[in-house]
Amino acid sequence: MYKKVEQFIERKDERKNSANAKLKLLVYGVQDNPEIFKKYQSFFKEEHYAYDNGNWDVDKNRLTPSEILLPGGIVSKLHIRPDSPLTLTLENDKLYIKNENQYLTEFTFIPRPNFWNYTTSKGTPTKKLAQLYGLNCMNINIFSGCEFHDVGLPCKFCSVKSAVRRDDPVEIVKTPEELAEVCELATKYDDYNYIIITGGSHLNTDEEFDKHMEIIKAVKDKLKWNGKIKGNVAMMPPKTMSKLQELYDNGVENPSFNIEVWPKSNFEKICPGKDKYVGFDYVVESLLYLKDIYGTGKVWSNFVAGIVPIEDMKEGFKFMAEHGIVPGANIYHAEVGSVIGKKLGRIDEKYILDLYKYAAELYHKYDYKPFFDAGVLRNSLANEMYEGLL
């Protein structure tokens, strides 16, 4: 299976077909297939519900893959949907995605990370502490929780409160010492090109910032970039804005405060906790402050695609791009346990294609690039549109 992963990455001539299949997967999801998942469960990297749950009507105690790999090195998240027209099939030892009776593409599973085979010096299984996103991105979710939920003001698209199982799956709060050990193990046993450090929201954003800085300082010299954090650190901005210089001084290459939605009126409705304890205007002001520290095209801000009208999304993208901040978006997938849940309905393909086409136009105009490559951005079509594959 490891050889098959390498072969799938090499099949560059099939990238357009893979991009179209990924579009379908991210819009419609895919039907459950317990038989195939059981057959390959000893190999694939499974969903471990560290902060979200996009799988409807699936027992979380049963292993399901977190992602799949399409020809040409394109990774897509799997979202299980009983009403999806897409199915997975195994024929002659090859795995395919079908849209009703039409074959979309072959696919394979992504193997679980090697560092998951170990425990820390305290005996904690490393799977409870970190993940590999896609093919090659370390992910550390330092707090698998959210204090806005605790005061009844969660972001309405978020499922962290219901997704994270309290009985087994992940450590809710991770310590700097254990995360440093995980990074050492990953550096020794796995091949990764990026890291994401994020995790949970605190009512006191200075406290949230300080916790992130503790982790950054603990892990940066355990990674392979000589003290740099190559990838992304995401959080809400601290109340003390001058603290932001610490991100630059500690080697964080691409920080982000994710605005989620646009404009302010939508932010107030959809992100009530962030609105009350941080504020839309303050998030924007902090992004501009960071941009002055880092320069144009180094600071990011992510949106959730599909929960507000597309013209609002485009206005937010335009504002960010014109002010030196790279906008991006992950597609919303009716998270289990979120306030919105299934009420939003399915996002249509035209919305998604129009949005990412507009993003690609901005990227080319301002010489920006998508946040990560197509082997990492599993819930986004930014790379596929940027490359002209869609």
Whether residue 85 is found in the same domain as residue 9 = yes
pLDDT band for 164, please (50, 70, 90 cuts). confident
Q: What angle in degrees, to the nearest 10, is found between the helix axes of 349-366 and 310-322?
A: 10
Give the tokens for residue 122. Answer: 């305290």
* Total residue length of the chain: 390
Q: What does the pLDDT average to over 63-88?
A: 96
- What is the residue type of 99? N
Does the pLDDT at position 3 exceed 80?
Answer: no
Closest CA to 108 of 24, 58, 20, 39: 39
Give the tokens for residue 85. Answer: 């027209």
pLDDT band for 336, please (50, 70, 90 cuts). confident
Whether residue 235 is found in the same domain as residue 251 = yes
Domains held by the chain: number? 2
Q: What does the pLDDT average to over 234-259?
A: 97
Whether residue 85 is found in the same domain as residue 144 = no
Whether residue 252 is found in the same domain as residue 284 = yes
Note the pLDDT of residue 126. Answer: 96
Note the pLDDT of residue 339. Answer: 86
Whether residue 158 is found in the same domain as residue 64 = no
Q: What does the pLDDT average to over 219-228?
A: 97
In the listed set 109, 129, 160, which residue is the last one of a domain according to the structure? 109
How far is residue 91's CA from residue 277's CA, in Å, rounded to a whole number?
A: 53
Whether residue 10 is found in the same domain as residue 157 = no
Looking at 42-51, 151-160, 217-226, 308-317, which range is the least confident one?
42-51
pLDDT one-digit tens code per residue, 113-128: 999 999 999 999 999 9
Whether residue 146 is found in the same domain as residue 11 = no
Helix (H) or strand (E) holding 320: helix 310-322
Q: What does the pLDDT average to over 347-360?
A: 96
pLDDT one-digit tens code per residue, 248-276: 999 999 999 999 999 999 999 999 999 99
Sequence-distant contacts of 282-288: CB under 8 A, at least 24 apart: 282/237, 283/236, 283/237, 283/257, 283/259, 284/259, 285/241, 286/237, 286/241, 286/244, 286/257, 287/237, 287/257, 287/259, 287/320, 287/323, 287/325, 288/323, 288/325
pTM of the model: 0.95
Note the pLDDT of residue 386. Answer: 98
Q: What is the DSSP letter of 278?
A: T
Does the pLDDT at position 165 exceed 80?
Answer: no
Whether residue 100 is found in the same domain as residue 121 = no
Range of the domain at 74: 2-109
Does the pLDDT at position 245 exceed 60?
Answer: yes
Does the pLDDT at position 66 exceed 90?
Answer: yes
pLDDT band for 161, please (50, 70, 90 cuts). confident
Give the tokens for residue 7. Answer: 């072969």
Whether residue 265 is found in the same domain as residue 325 = yes
Whether residue 105 is found in the same domain as residue 132 = no
Note the pLDDT of residue 285. Answer: 98
Whether residue 195 is found in the same domain as residue 211 = yes
> What is the CATH number for 277?
3.20.20.70
CA angle 340, 255, 65 (to 5 degrees): 50
CA distance to 31, 40, 93, per residue, from 35 (Å) = 12, 9, 14
User: Which is it for the CA torsion 54, 57, 60, 63, positive or negative?
Assistant: negative
In the listed set 109, 131, 154, which residue is the last one of a domain according to the structure? 109
Note the pLDDT of residue 167. Answer: 57
In the listed set 76, 109, 142, which residue is the last one of a domain according to the structure? 109
Whether residue 158 is found in the same domain as residue 252 = yes
